[in-house]
Amino acid sequence: MTDQAPWELRGEWQTATITRIIPRTKTIKSFFFALPQPFTHRAGQHVDLRLTAPDGYQAIRSYSIASALSHSGELELAIERLEDGEVSPFFHEVVAVGDEIELRGPLGGHFVWSATDGGPLLLIGGGSGLVPLMAMARHRQQVESTVPSLLLLSARTWDDVLYRDELLKLQRLANGFVLVLTLTRDLPRREGDYSRRINAAVVAEVLARLPSPPKHVFICGSNPFVTSAAEAALAAGLPATIIKTERYGS
């Protein structure tokens, strides 16, 4: 993470309790945590989770916060199961409601957005890279913002679209939020969606669906996805100064 803001809180480790687990796709589940020390976060921030083995070995991983801004003390993280992962298989195969997990945050001051930052807003996500962008979309709806926003989301198939039903509902509200899906291994189900990977032509075409050029661009996903999507955004004529990226994986 770069450009940490002065208000960023790293926080102390606290022991959170799993309150709910909701399957989202074949490989992604949402885990809801009750925090003994609730905090207020900004859309786009993340937390660290720490697992400690009986022999004292520790593994720490960072996960973006999916929740909109909340003072309830409950936090949602969407965790994708990675076959070669050290932490995600534990969450998918072992963790149950009532389990306690060490957590600290909120973290990150660079990849954040609030309605007061204005727009138009262009969000580009791949797979579970949607999570921090979803927090932004949820925050926008929570504060009843009408900032023009377009989410360009890449997924393998229709059933792999994370938060699909919620995203479709947000678009049906017709308050300036537009959803465009690019399915790389499936045919499009809606008019205006794509069956291809994101490239400069796709970015240029979806930009025409915004009322004016974006003020902010956020791109999140795997390393290869972010590199490709950022290059496509630049090739479509977007200035590098408005593009912020967040990536995961080696």
**Segment 60-69, tens digit of pLDDT:** 999 999 998 7
Tens digits of residue pLDDT in 45-60: 999 999 998 898 999 9
Q: Which residues of the chain does CATH 3.40.50.80 include?
A: 115-248
**55 DSSP β-pair partners:** none
Q: Is 162 helix (H, G, I), strand (E, B) or coil?
A: coil
At residue 199, φ and ψ (nearest 5 deg) are: -140, -175
* Measured distance CA(236)–CA(14) in Å, rounded: 44
pLDDT given for residue 84 in this prediction: 82
Label residue 86 by pLDDT band (50, 70, 90).
confident
Q: What are 196's two structure tokens?
A: 């291809």
> What pLDDT digit, counting tens, does each position of 90-117 carry?
999 999 999 999 999 999 989 999 999 9
**Segment 1-27 mean pLDDT:** 74
Side chain identity at 95, as an amino acid letter?
V
Instruction: For residue 206, give the nearest of 194, 196, 216 by alpha carbon.
Output: 194
CATH 2.40.30.10, the chain: domain bounds: 14-107
Point out the least confidently predicted range of 4-8, 37-41, 102-106, 183-187: 4-8
pLDDT at 8 over 60: no
pLDDT for position 3:
32
> How many helices and strands in the chain, by DSSP H and E?
5, 11
Domain 14-107, CATH homologous superfamily name and number:
Translation factors (2.40.30.10)
Place of tokens 């020390």: 37
Looking at domain 115-248, its CATH architecture is 3-Layer(aba) Sandwich (3.40)
